[in-house]
Amino acid sequence: MSRFWSPVVHDLTPYVPGEQPKLANLVKLNTNENPYPPSPRVHEAIQAELGSDADRLKLYPDPTGSQLKASIARHFAVPAEWVFVGNSSDEVLAHTFQALLKHDAPLLFPDITYSFYPVYCGLYGIDFETVSLDGDFAIRVDDYLERGTARAGAVIFPNPNAPTGRLLPLSEIERLASGLPDSPIVIDEAYVDFGGLETIPTAVTLIKDHPNLLVTQTLSKSRSLAGLRVGFAIGQPALIEALSRVKDSFNSYPLDRLALAGASAAMDDEAWFHQTRGQVIASREALTARLQVMGFEVLPSAANFVFARHPGHDAAQLSAALRERSIIVRHFKAPRIDQFLRITVGTDEQCGLLVTALEAILR
């Protein structure tokens, strides 16, 4: 507290990210990073951008990120005018809250979801209400339709949801977007690339028919670039323009030259993307089966993490016992989920170390 603070700062409750310990030899399964490196083309593109000409960095980057937008547009087969890019999807989400989610009626999101959402509401003075997940931790679209029809506010949730990992079928998102045509509907697809091997269940395919639908994604998870800080949104031009207006009132150059070059190369390397996401999906299924053998209840996950509880063991104690063995997972001390562990899917070797440690702890 300080008398120098603006009033809004007094009332903020900032988001607390998962820890990034400085220790070596940790099995780090706590913040949903990808265990595989990014495409080698990312390094090549960043090197090329630096080039032999060290002078390159004296110039501002492209304020619109047009090459990156083109790469994203190509990946999704949408017009580049539908794409907005930002310095992480958290930044894109922050602009979205300010640009699209503040209305007279309260913003709706699940009671169990990404804990950054209420933080943005606090920062921007947005009124919100939470909607309970059902007993199986699934989102029930009818609850949103009921509340939204009475008083149209905006809706946001991740799909797959975090930290549950549960996926809502696209048909349900379509029902929501068409049922509340006057409400902005934002789907935070941080994990959607792990949602299916054959086809990725992204709501981007619904955008052409739904002017109220905005989809956000990140390069932090499925493209192994959490350290580069790049995210984007896709929607019809009116929604994208709202985000651009906020961005250009905040920071004209949110993405630096290296991030723009690296992110564009990552989007272009389709083979690397499909290979690594396929490996994570396979490891997730194997890890789920092994946890179930040990007696864990594991929610069906479409993400790069699993959310699991053991009927005979307290989650906080399990988390502490794993930490003693240099394995860190995430435990949330929140109502309804405080008996769960959220475990990032690592390499098969990391998953093996986790399983061995849990077997020893449960014994």
Ligand X SMILES: *Cc1c(COP(=O)(O)O)cnc(C)c1O
Q: What minimum distance in Å lies between the beta carbon of 119 and ligand X?
A: 12
Residue 75's identity, in one-letter code, is H
- Encode burial over 313-342: b for 16+ CB neighbours within 10 A, e otherwise: bebeebbebbeeeebbbbbbeeeebebbbb
> Does 89 participate in binding ligand X (rule CB under 6 A)?
yes
Q: What minimum distance in Å lies between the beta carbon of 19 and ligand X?
A: 15
Name which position in 84, 97, 109, 114 contacts ligand X (CB under 6 A): 114
Q: What minimum distance in Å lies between the beta carbon of 118 and ligand X?
A: 13
> Does 96 participate in binding ligand X (rule CB under 6 A)?
no
Q: What minimum distance in Å lies between the beta carbon of 33 and ligand X?
A: 9
Name which position in 34, 39, 71, 88 contacts ligand X (CB under 6 A): 88
Concatenated DSSP letters of 109-174: EESSS-THHHHHHHHHT--EEEE---TTS---HHHHHHHHHHS---EEEESS-TTT-PPPPHHHHH
Write the binding mask 33 to 72 for ligand X: x where contact by CB under 6 A, - elsewhere.
----------------------------------------
How are the residues of the chain apportioned to helix, strand and coil, as percentages rounded to the nearest 5? 45, 15, 45
> Does 267 participate in binding ligand X (rule CB under 6 A)?
no
Give 219 or 265: the residue with its C-beta nearer to ligand X.
219
Give 184 or 357: the residue with its C-beta nearer to ligand X.
184
The DSSP bridge partners found for residue 235 are 214
* Chain residues 172-231 in contact with ligand X, contact rule CB under 6 A: 188, 190, 218, 220, 226, 231
Give 319 or 344: the residue with its C-beta nearer to ligand X.
344
How far is residue 124 from each of residues 45, 93, 127, 248, measured CA to CA in Å?
37, 12, 9, 17
Using CB under 6 A as the binding criterion, the count of chain residues that bind ligand X stands at 12
Residue 118's identity, in one-letter code, is P
Q: What minimum distance in Å lies between the beta carbon of 5 and ligand X?
A: 26
Binding region for ligand X (CB under 6 A): 88-90, 114, 158, 162, 188, 190, 218, 220, 226, 231
